[in-house]
Structure formats: structure tokens, C-alpha cells
Amino acid sequence: GAVVSQHPSWVICKSGTSVKIECRSLDFQATTMFWYRQFPKQSLMLMATSNEGSKATYEQGVEKDKFLINHASLTLSTLTVTSAHPEDSSFYICSARKTGGYTEAFFGQGTRLTVV
């Protein structure tokens, strides 16, 4: 299967700082990337959908100014958590799809964010 690389795998930051998480499709072009947040023992909650070259579509209740998403190329999307607070601590996961239609989404290994 295709490979999606997410970096960093874990990060600890101080309250008020910003953190950038990168999601790269290593061997395919991803026209669509998804960003999820997951709390312990819960499902993946979709935060936003990003399409290359256009603005991300955020889910209801997700602050677009706090969670900045950039999908500048067909192989890279970034999520920046701005002015992080302890309640932003979570597991963030990205996913990439090659094209629309009946194609699976491949997932990164996730990023564990801890805000202290």
C-alpha cells in the first residue's frame, strides 16, 4: 500500500506556543487529505478536509483560526495548532487519498501532542 508519513510522532510544547504537524504522501499524489483528532478510547473525529491548492473545509465546531491547515502541494499538508492550550493535547492523525471515487485513504502514524 501507499505510504503516508506524519511528523513529528510526538511533541511536547508550552501553553501559548504553536506547533506544526506535517503529513506527506511519499509515493503517490494526494488530492485530498483529512485531519483527525482522537481522544483515548474514542473514535477518530474529522477536523477538516483539505484539497490541494484550495482552502480547507472545517467541520462544525473546529476553529479554523486555531487549527491552520495548508495543503500547498500534492504530497504535503500541514496542521498548525496555534496558541496551544492543555485542552488541545490529543492524538492528531492525517490521512491522504489518491483521487476521489473508490480509493482508500492511507493514514499517517499519528502525532501525540502534549501541551504543558
Residues in touch with other proteins (CB under 8 A):
1, 4, 6, 32, 34, 36-37, 41-47, 49, 59-62, 91, 93, 95, 97, 100-102, 104-110, 112
Q: Dihedral sign, CA of 59, 62, 64, 68? A: negative
Nearer to other proteins, 22 or 107 (CB): 107
> Whole-angstrom Cα distance, residue 90 to residue 113?
5
Nearer to other proteins, 17 or 103 (CB): 103
Nearer to other proteins, 87 or 102 (CB): 102
Tally of CB atoms within 10 A around 57: 13
Least distance (Å) between residue 72 CB and other proteins: 20
For residue 26 the three cell numbers come to 511519499
DSSP symbol at 56: P
